Structure 1
Amino acid sequence: MNRREGEGCPRRNADAAQDGDGNSSSPVIAAFKVFQQELDTKHDKHERLVKISRDVTIESKRSIFLLHRVTSVPNADDILKEAEVKLDSVRQKIGQIAEELRGEDIFQFHRAFTPGIQEYVEAVSFLHYIRNRSLISLEEINARLVFMTGEKVELKDLAEAPQTGGQVLTFQVTPSDYLLGVADLTGELMRMCISSVGNGDIDTPFQLSQFLRQIHDGFSYIGNTGPYEVSKKLHTLRQSLGKVEDACYALRVRGSEIPKHMLADVFSSRTTLLDPEEGVV
């Protein structure tokens, strides 16, 4: 009966064990251990950024839902203040993202947090439009994303806060995230238009129609030079604009004939005639 190779040969087994111990000090093995540690660190940071981005998305959506109530209440100031408080807490979470990205290449982790940043841009631009009836700029958004390390203090509060020698951290929203957030804003404006009509407000739809047309024209100028995701959202933007403009046409032609409590039916009756695959020229 043949013995297995190496069985019953203590010297050979000892030599093999010695070779195995020697491999642990090999420069190649040591280098790969360093690579393993770097990859594990990067993976852990990526997972933390995904979780923070998910929290930013949830809180931003809640702010948007809250802002939609401004069309149904007599005094919208309280709602706007409450929404601002919610967005302040969102900004603190973005400060956590800035802390995680300190000393890192932002584009290595961009896919981990871009959904939350786009949702934040959508929420803060929605609040800005309700207050000012204009589009917030990228510079205005980034100006609010300045933080102190170790403290929940924004740059605007530094003059009143005691100086502790903390390091200033900034988070810069990329132009692509800004564009995609503004593209999502158009859907919220279309819903705001529906709510306004349902509450008997026939002036807001015409304001929204003009504003949406300006946004659409701006995206048309970008063309194929912008992020590839813009082309996907541009179709939705055109649909939202088409619904608002079609409803404004019906209100202008037959607005005086339609009772206020039935104005919301203008959207359900008129927009069903739109071809869902047909864009707005």
Structure 2
Amino acid sequence: MNKREGEGCPHKNSDAAQDRDAGSNPSSPVITAFKVFQQELDTKHDKYERLVKISRDVTIESKRTIFLLHRVTSVPDAEQVLNEADVKLDGVRQKIGQIAEELRGEDIYQFHRAFTPGIQEYVEAVSFLHYIRHRSLISLEQINARLVFMRNGKMEAQGSAEAVPLAAQVLTFQVTPSDYLLGVADLTGELMRMCISSVGNGDIDTPFQLSQFLRQIHDGFSYIGNTGPYEVSKKLHTLRQSLGKVEDACYTLRVRGSEIPKHMLADVFTSRTTVIDPEEGVV
């Protein structure tokens, strides 16, 4: 006579019973451990999503600042535009302060992908403003120096009536070198557009200044080569295209500038850049 399945196998029956007990017993050590893991993962996911939303706001406001700065080549009072851009960037920095608050006590590289697009766009905007004002490249240290925030409100130590020391209320955000480089690489596209606008307004000097400045940036990136982050080497191609267009504008101005009326220079330059790179998308 055949034995029923599992009969005579006390170890199997015991293991199955333990599995059933673990699944039905909420106080089981295994279930308790997995509940802790679930809570940690949910908390991390929620924080990641909040950082993505803040980064999106930083990106939008930074782009608006860049669009505003492009008006400096066509308005009589450039300083008013620059002051308005300063106000907008102050608002962007407040958003970055929210990122710093979310990252307090965390490893930023766990969440870096969530906020890096916004930080790169901010670097692009603040470096564009700095160039228009000072005709130089802003440094990473100068950017980080303005990303120091004071926490709002007075805080008290937990379980004590004493106030938290001032140092505990200060938050800092440090732009990473890779985000800085990526933002500077994107800056070159805005400088190329500024060159086109300057030519259209009859400004003959700005394109030559931009050409020299972009050449210096290109030389700096050439020192990095393939040793830097992959995204940096990928954007080096766009940088070279922007430099080539600006140098072509300078060539057109130098060789044919006296032949072409100033109001037609931009049209001639635009048609030449289209021939150079007809398949390029939006930078």
Instruction: Tell me the TM-score normalised to structure 2 length.
Output: 0.85
Choose which of 81, 92, 115 in structure 2 pairs with 1:90.
92
> How do 1:183-262 residues align onto structure 2 when only pairs under 5 Å count?
183-262=185-264
Deviation at 1:22, TM superposition (A): 5.5
CA RMSD of aligned residues (A): 2.1
The one-letter code sitting in structure 1 at the alignment partner of 2:82 is: L
Matched-pair contact (CA < 8 Å) for 2:54–2:95:
yes
1:244-264 C-alpha deviation (Å, 9 max, x unpaired): 101100100111111011010
> How do 1:3-82 residues align onto structure 2 when only pairs under 5 Å count?
19=21, 23-82=25-84
1:20-43 C-alpha deviation (Å, 9 max, x unpaired): 786211111100000000000000
Matched-pair contact (CA < 8 Å) for 1:247–1:266:
no
1:146-188 C-alpha deviation (Å, 9 max, x unpaired): 001126xxxxxxxxxxx99461000000000000000000000
How many matched pairs?
252
1:194-251 C-alpha deviation (Å, 9 max, x unpaired): 0000000011000000000000111111001111001221111111100110110010
2-side partners of 1:272 and 1:86: how far apart?
A: 33
SS in structure 2 at match of 1:257: coil
Instruction: Tell me which residue corresponds to 1:115.
Output: 117
SS in structure 2 at match of 1:264: helix
Instruction: Tell me which residue corresponds to 1:156.
Output: none
The one-letter code sitting in structure 1 at the alignment partner of 2:208 is: F
Task: Go from structure 1 to structure 2 and tell me whether the alpha carbon gap of 1:27 and 1:75 turns closer, same or farther (over 3 Å shift).
Answer: same
Task: Go from structure 1 to structure 2 and tell me whether the alpha carbon gap of 1:20 and 1:47 turns closer, same or farther (over 3 Å shift).
Answer: same
Indicate the larger mover: 86-95 or 223-232.
Answer: 223-232
Q: Which runs of 5+ in 1 are unaligned?
A: 1-14, 152-162
The one-letter code sitting in structure 2 at the alignment partner of 1:44 is: D
Q: Which runs of 5+ in 2 are unaligned?
A: 1-16, 154-163
Choose which of 148, 171, 174 in structure 2 pairs with 1:146.
148
Matched-pair contact (CA < 8 Å) for 2:22–2:31:
no
2-side partners of 1:277 and 1:22: how far apart?
A: 62
2-side partners of 1:242 and 1:271: how far apart?
A: 9
Matched-pair contact (CA < 8 Å) for 1:239–1:276:
no
1:55-94 C-alpha deviation (Å, 9 max, x unpaired): 0000000000000000001110100000000000000000
Instruction: Tell me which residue corresponds to 2:136.
Output: 134
Task: Go from structure 1 to structure 2 and tell me whether the alpha carbon gap of 1:58 and 1:128 turns closer, same or farther (over 3 Å shift).
Answer: same
Matched-pair contact (CA < 8 Å) for 2:71–2:81:
yes
Deviation at 1:268, TM superposition (A): 2.0
Matched-pair contact (CA < 8 Å) for 2:22–2:28:
no
1-side partners of 2:41 and 2:23: how far apart?
A: 25
Deviation at 1:276, TM superposition (A): 6.2
The one-letter code sitting in structure 2 at the alignment partner of 1:189 is: L
SS in structure 2 at match of 1:103: coil
2-side partners of 1:189 and 1:56: how far apart?
A: 21
Task: Go from structure 1 to structure 2 and tell me whether the alpha carbon gap of 1:21 and 1:247 turns closer, same or farther (over 3 Å shift).
Answer: closer
2:169 is the alignment partner of 1:167 = yes
Matched-pair contact (CA < 8 Å) for 1:66–1:83:
yes
The one-letter code sitting in structure 2 at the alignment partner of 1:177 is: D
2-side partners of 1:20 and 1:270: how far apart?
A: 74
The one-letter code sitting in structure 1 at the alignment partner of 2:205 is: D
1-side partners of 2:133 and 2:22: how far apart?
A: 70
SS in structure 1 at match of 2:258: helix
Matched-pair contact (CA < 8 Å) for 2:22–2:30:
no
SS in structure 1 at match of 2:248: helix
2:169 is the alignment partner of 1:178 = no
